[in-house]
Amino acid sequence: MQQKTTISKYIKLSLFTFLGFVALQTSAQKVKIDGVAVVIGKNIVLESDIDKFKQEVETRSEGKITISDCEMLEELMQQKLLAHHAVVDSVVVSEPEVSSRVERSIQYFTQQYGSIEKVIKAYGFNDLEDLKKELTTVQEENVLIEKEQQKITEKIDVTPEEVRLYFNGLKEKGELPQFPAEIELAQIVLKAIPTKEEEERVVAKLNEIKKQIEDGSNFKMKAIINSDDPGVTSNGGEYTVTKESNFIKEFKEMAFTLDVNQVSEPFKSEFGYHIMQLHAIKGNTRIASHILMKPVVPDDKLKELEEKTNEIIEEIKEGKITFEEAVKKYSNDEDSKNSGGLIINPSTGESRFDLTRMDPAFYARVSDLKKGEMTTSFYDESRAGDKMFKFILMKDRTDTHIADIVNDYEKVQQLALQKKKEETIEKWSKEKIKDTYIKIGEGHSKCVFNKNWKKEISK
């Protein structure tokens, strides 16, 4: 059970997050006629799909998982079976669900390659619309598969007795999982706030640049000279914007407010102050450039902030104030101020962090802390470029350990529930195979599968 679950985890990562699938389909269309390994309903698995995803599973697992061509084919057939019956069951996939995933993929690979033009070139697409079309096809199928799985397992639950039996079964076989070290952290943050005069200076400068552009100056050159956006060197401050893209609210709203060639008034976001010029409207897409300017906080103000942070640490250590009281009194971090400074793990939405999967710099600061200990104050900057000093409290800590039914009940419960869902989907698949059109290519006729994909009659 453990091996199969692990393999499935890496296959799911490959199927649902890997752009190579799109590139694979595209190259198959443009370079050669690819062989068809299997047909499931109206869906096909190409010969090259097997090789590509097999390599991806092995790469993502860092060589810990190896899988044969026949095993890979069966996993891909399972996905196609789910996609086929999602359509049969009239599963609805909305345009926003798909487009948001497409935009996230584009944003991710644009960051990886530096520009959307480089992504298009690297994967052999004709243009952005060509890329979006292929991504949309893949993501539509991904959503279908996920929703069909949810539909099959929506009423599945586990009782405490089932959790106990599951745990005891693993214990008897010597297969109890090892849970990694987990920590819970809280912070006090003092952000450097620019003065009103500095903000007025920035707005006045942007208004001056706006007038120069309206009088004929080149927006891109002005952006290169003045913008604090780090992407300006590669794209001149120009971006492709849709309502589903991951840009900040203010940026998207302005892009959809302007007329072509119009330059906006200065507007504020969490990143600073902007002006924007709209270049083109293409359906639901806007092509726009912006110039970002961030108000400056002088070094002497940062020094004062550091000293204040150290004073707060001493107040807590001397017992003059509790950590929670200090959060309410001093911290100006909106995300954690109202929860006693608790830091939420952005990957899980929960308060606990897997110590082995933390950012290396963050890990170095907190890995040696015992429960109740605090770091020294340190300088940090937010994604938006906010300057701050902060310190962190180790609220709770659990070291690496073998699963315990009492202390780890919720984790064991989730494992038991996942196993039951997998068994439910396995049972569903075996039934659906019987009345689904399946044609396996001769090259895979000798494969031995776990399910009766060949529809052989038992003797």
Q: Which two tokens stand for residue 37?
A: 């390994």
Amino acid residing at 89: D
Burial label for 117, CB within 10 Å (0-12, 13-18, 19+), is middle
pLDDT, one tens digit per residue, over 65-76 is 778 999 999 999
Q: Give the CA angle between residues 241, 242, 243 to the nearest 5°.
A: 130
pLDDT value, residue 70 = 93
pLDDT of 234 higher than 90: no
pLDDT of 77 higher than 50: yes
Tell me the percentage of the chain whose pLDDT exceeds 90: 64
Instruction: Please enumerate in sequence order all residues whose Cβ is within 8 A of that of 108, keeping only pairs 6 or more positions apart, or say none.
Output: none
Choices 3.10.50.40, 3.30.420.40, 3.40.50.300, 3.40.50.970: CATH for 182-193+298-402: 3.10.50.40
With left for phi above 0 and alpha for psi between -120 and 50, is residue 63 left, alpha or beta? left
User: What b/e string do you get for 319-353 counting C-beta neighbours within 10 Å, with b at 16 or more?
Assistant: eeeebbebbeebbebeebbeebbbbebeeeeebeb
Residue whose tokens read 């060197």: 233
Q: What is the mean pLDDT of the chain?
A: 87
Q: Across the chain, how many H-helices and E-strands are there? A: 16, 13
User: What is the pLDDT confidence band of residue 446, given thresholds at 50, 70 and 90?
Assistant: very high
Max mean pLDDT among 13-17, 100-104, 226-230, 328-332 falls in 328-332
Instruction: Give yes or no for a contact between 420 and 429, defined as CB atoms under 8 angstroms apart.
Output: no
Give the integer Cα–Cα distance in Å for 158 and 151.
Answer: 17
Hey, what CATH topology would domain 2-171+408-444 get? Triger factor/SurA peptide-binding fold (1.10.4030)
352-354 vs 43-46, strand pairing mode: unpaired
Stretch 194-223: mean pLDDT, rounded? 94
How many other CB atoms sit within 10 Å of the CB of residue 402?
10
Name the DSSP letter for residue 237: T
pLDDT value, residue 34 = 61
Amino acid residing at 333: D
pLDDT value, residue 169 = 97
Give the integer Cα–Cα distance in Å for 120 and 131.
Answer: 7
Helices (H), 123-266: 128-153, 160-172, 196-214, 219-226, 232-235, 249-255
Phi, psi of 379 (to 5 degrees): -80, 145
285-293 vs 352-354, strand pairing mode: unpaired
158 by DSSP, 3-state: which?
Answer: coil
Give the integer Cα–Cα distance in Å for 342 and 349.
Answer: 12
Q: What is the pTM of this model?
A: 0.67
Please state the domain extents for the chain. 2-171+408-444, 182-193+298-402, 196-293
Would the CATH topology of 2-171+408-444 be identical to that of 182-193+298-402?
no
pLDDT value, residue 393 = 97
107 by DSSP, 3-state: which?
Answer: helix
Instruction: Give yes or no for a contact between 285 and 265, defined as CB atoms under 8 angstroms apart.
Output: no
Does domain 196-293 bear CATH number 3.50.70?
A: no
Instruction: Give yes or no for a contact between 450 and 182, defined as CB atoms under 8 angstroms apart.
Output: no
How many other CB atoms sit within 10 Å of the CB of residue 253?
12
Instruction: Give yes or no for a contact between 289 and 238, defined as CB atoms under 8 angstroms apart.
Output: yes
Q: Compute, in degrees rounded to 10, the torsion defined by CA atoms 62, 66, 71, 72.
A: 40
The full DSSP string for 317-340 is: HTTSS-HHHHHHHH---TTTGGGT
Task: Provide the residue count of the chain.
Answer: 459
